[in-house]
Amino acid sequence: SPPPFPGGNGIVIQKSDIIFDGLHHTIYGQPSSGFGFAGNGIEIRNGSNITIKNVNITRFSCGIYLTYSINVKVMNSSLIWNQNGIDGWPASNCSVINNNFEDIYGSAICFDDGNNNEVLYNRVFDAEYGITINTDNSIVSGNNIAECYPSGISVGGYYNSVSNNTILNTKYSIRIGGSHNIVANNTILHTVVGIWGDGIDVWGDYNIICNNMINLTSQCNGIYVLNVNHNIIDKNIIANN
């Protein structure tokens, strides 16, 4: 493999209207002198209309970091063995589509602050936090998430949609802390004994939880609603708990 970046960022983009095609090459980071990794594989600062595709990123503090950026698309890439996968703060109108995340020690995908983001058709395996959305009017759909502890999908904003995701062997599969969100048509499964937690946690008001299929082991709660009001919970199938 090529020599790693010595604790700094791999690539920094500070312009707009950029297409970065990695052609399936790998950007290697280097563990820091202390615990964990250092630097960002790709960092986008104050950028817009940027596409990142077909790149492998490994051994960084954050694989792809977006700050004060809009209209950024990350697609068809692989982020393996990083502290965090993709982190946007703040970021709006961004898309994370058809990427692979494995061995992530923090969040695989996280958007903190912003709106109108979409996270679609990604595979997340073995992360601490799978997908975390603290933005508004965003979509999380068609993702496959497995073996994330403690949570698979966490939503803390307003007017978001979480649909058609499959979450396997994850402690708290979906956690809804915001309001006016829709959680529909998701499949949540535990196939091994010994996992405890909840299928769907509801911590906010005015959410709709419908048409989800939840099949968990006996140590788990199917849907857990904690001291909140005006939620609609309808037509969910809950088994083996």
Quick: pLDDT tens for 55-99: 999 999 999 999 999 999 999 999 999 999 999 999 999 999 999
d(CA 36, CA 26) in angstroms, rounded, equals 19
How many angstroms separate the first and last alpha carbons of the chain?
47
Q: What is the pLDDT of residues 169-210, one digit of tens each?
A: 999 999 999 999 999 999 999 877 666 789 999 999 999 999
pTM for the complete prediction?
Answer: 0.94
* pLDDT at residue 1 in the model: 44
pLDDT of residue 6: 52
| Number of helices (H), then strands (E), in the chain | 0, 27
Kindly tell me if the per-residue pLDDT of 3 is higher than 50.
no
Q: Residue 221 above 50 pLDDT?
A: yes
Q: How confident is the model at residue 35 (pLDDT cuts 50, 70, 90)?
A: low
Residues 6+ apart with CB under 8 A from 171: 148, 149, 150, 151, 195, 196, 197
Side chain identity, residue 92: S
